[in-house]
Structure 1
Amino acid sequence: MSAAGRFFCADAAGARGDLLAGTAPYGSVWVLVEYPGGWPPNGFDGLDLDPHVKGVVFRAAQTVRARILLIRRHGRRAAEGPRRWAVLRHGVNGAYRQSWGTWDRAEELTGIVGALDAPGDLGHPPVVLVCAHGLHDVCCAVRGRPVARALSLRWPRLVWECTHVGGDRFAANVVVAPDGVYYGRLDAPSSVTAVEQHLADRIHADHLRGYTDLFPPQQAAVAEALRRFGPAGRHAYAVEETLRDHDRWRIRLAGRPPWPASLDVEVRSHHAAPTLLTCRGRAASSAVSYEVTSLRAG
């Protein structure tokens, strides 16, 4: 709550001490559509484009559980040449693949459908997405835009502002794709540090929400390993086994040298008291958090 009495979800979540680890949405495919103008609250769905085209793209994305995000360069700069679209994919074998195209007319967006069926190309640099979707949530704009500015100055070709990525209360949110890594509660200096370290394949527990190819308790387990044993590469730890007993999980991680070869992590989930979780929320909701209760090297 600000001095003027206005509710900001990120301020409230920080005051409550909401846990970051274990909050990255599950998924391994992203569809990006460059749209430099203002974004409607519901993103791609709300664009004034041919409904048939939007329906075709949406159904194709839904088939592979892809998230569709609108993107633009910081400051709503006009596109240099045709607007771009992309399909980013984190393969089950850990390979990062991307397909890029351009569009001037709405019907050219149907190229996304074919790209969703294709494997994509290797070798592209990662894409750094900063949620700055103000009409969806005020905190995403207030906190996201300074982060987008700082990152764009450092990596102008990698960084895009994007629509809602989930977890408004953790703004500013940054997603590195197709790596599938979510960071939250960033400001301009910490975002530059986090992305710099990420690009050097040194992921830190600080600001880490999770890896999108893992489920929440697994994300929390990996974050605790990073916190305990130091920053490590994106694939330094693999989940070997996950056992659940009601609100408790026992997760076995396998580490690559020089990290511990085997870790047994116990995680417990908690349902918080209902509260407003977004700036525009009209009803209280109960968030689930994941707390690591023990970690033992095998």
Structure 2
Amino acid sequence: MSPAWFGCADRARQRDDPMIGSAPHAHGWLLIEHPGPWGIDAPAGCGLDEDVLLLLGRAARAAHWRILLVRRPGRRPVPPQRRWIAVGAAATREGHWRGDGELGAAAEAVRTLSRAGEPAATAGPADPAAEPIILVCTHGTHDTCCAVRGRPVAEALAARWPASVWECSHLGGDRFAANAIVLPDAAYYGNLDPGSAVRTVEDHLDGRLDLDRLRGLARFPPVAQAAIAEAHRRLGPLPALAITAGHPEQLEPHRWRVVVAAPAGSWRVIVVAERREPAVLTCRAAAATPATAYLVTAFDPA
């Protein structure tokens, strides 16, 4: 890539686009190992049997999960048997389950993991002491910035945590590349480079969120992500799972109240959504569109 490349991530940095609340809301992730190439719609174009893909898609939509393709950095050979991992966004590390096995069982794992904590037949409880899964978006067919910025970040993280790091297909928020998510905490981070990525993940694993690079905890909707981030800013440093939020209560068309719970008590947080000026938000965008910024206007004891 030419040193003169100036993509959507460069423009977003110039505009100082706010990241908090930009993590796509999901309850879990189905990760399917596939070395590539990845089309724009990666799962649909990866050569899966059409009936299997339809089954997986239905299960994921019903459970509010996302399907991602993953591969190890460095394009290492993939075992002949296709592998998959189902990762639920955990309320606690001990409540998190993973499964791997033949792809035909993945849909049942998604359905089971989306219910009240019952493990699938092919799954077992994660070891709370084990390293989490770290995904870095490198989906260049979807957005050039994800490949240009994501691949060096994936390599740097893999050098530090070789068993935990995967490149992945589209995570969302291309303009914040390089993007990464730490599972099962469901913590999205953006605007990463190789050096900051290693520090950010080290801090995360040590129980401190990097609020300057945090996009949100994806197991919560965007409004709650903003409220939780503000609580971490005021009450932290705290681990990702230390602060939770109830369902946002809409007070006005663009104003919500969210009750967050932390070890020190509960707070009522008022969050306002503001539409920003239209901008070109991805490298592939044909026109400018407005993004949403989430602002905390009140933070009071409940």
Q: 1:50 to 1:264 in 2, by over 3 A?
A: closer
Q: 1:93 to 1:147 in 2, by over 3 A?
A: closer
TM alignment of 1:201-280, pairs within 5 A: 201-240=207-246, 242-244=248-250, 245-256=252-263, 260-280=264-284
Q: Helix, strand or coil: the match of 2:125? A: coil
Q: Helix, strand or coil: the match of 2:154? A: helix
Corresponding residue number in structure 1 for 2:109: 115
8 A contact 2:91–2:241 mirrored in 1: no
Counterparts of 1:223 and 1:173, CA distance in 2: 18
Corresponding residue number in structure 2 for 1:98: 98
- Percent identity of equivalent pairs: 44
Of 146, 149, 155, which aligns to 2:155?
149
Q: Deviations over 1:177-211 (max 9, x none)?
A: 22211111111111111111222232231211111
Q: Deviations over 1:60-82 (max 9, x none)?
A: 22221211100000011112563
Q: Helix, strand or coil: the match of 1:209? A: strand
Gapped runs of 5+ residues in structure 2? Answer: 113-118
Superposed displacement of residue 37, structure 1: 2.8
Corresponding residue number in structure 2 for 1:28: 27
Corresponding residue number in structure 1 for 2:138: 132
Gapped runs of 5+ residues in structure 1? Answer: 102-107
* Letter of the 2:84 counterpart: W
Corresponding residue number in structure 2 for 1:163: 169
Counterparts of 1:25 and 1:295, CA distance in 2: 24
Q: How many residues align?
A: 287
Counterparts of 1:215 and 1:56, CA distance in 2: 26
Corresponding residue number in structure 2 for 1:105: none
Corresponding residue number in structure 1 for 2:198: 192
Tell me the TM-score normalised to structure 2 length. 0.88
8 A contact 1:204–1:230 mirrored in 2: no
Tell me the TM-score normalised to structure 1 length. 0.89
* Letter of the 2:100 counterpart: W
Corresponding residue number in structure 1 for 2:289: 285
The answer as to 2:21 corresponding to 1:14 is no
8 A contact 1:173–1:182 mirrored in 2: yes
Q: 1:293 to 1:284 in 2, by over 3 A?
A: same
CA RMSD, Structure 1 to Structure 2 (Å): 2.1
Q: 1:117 to 1:242 in 2, by over 3 A?
A: closer
Q: Deviations over 1:203-246 (max 9, x none)?
A: 23121111112111211111122222332112221224633222
Superposed displacement of residue 250, structure 1: 2.4
Corresponding residue number in structure 1 for 2:116: none
Counterparts of 2:61 and 2:223, CA distance in 1: 25
* Letter of the 1:223 counterpart: A
8 A contact 1:28–1:178 mirrored in 2: no
Q: Deviations over 1:143-191 (max 9, x none)?
A: 1011100000000000000000110011111011222111111111111
Q: Deviations over 1:37-56 (max 9, x none)?
A: 32112101112232222222
* Letter of the 1:11 counterpart: D
Counterparts of 1:293 and 1:83, CA distance in 2: 48
Counterparts of 2:196 and 2:48, CA distance in 1: 37
Q: Helix, strand or coil: the match of 1:74? A: coil
Runs of 4+, deviation exceeding 6 Å: none
Corresponding residue number in structure 1 for 2:115: none
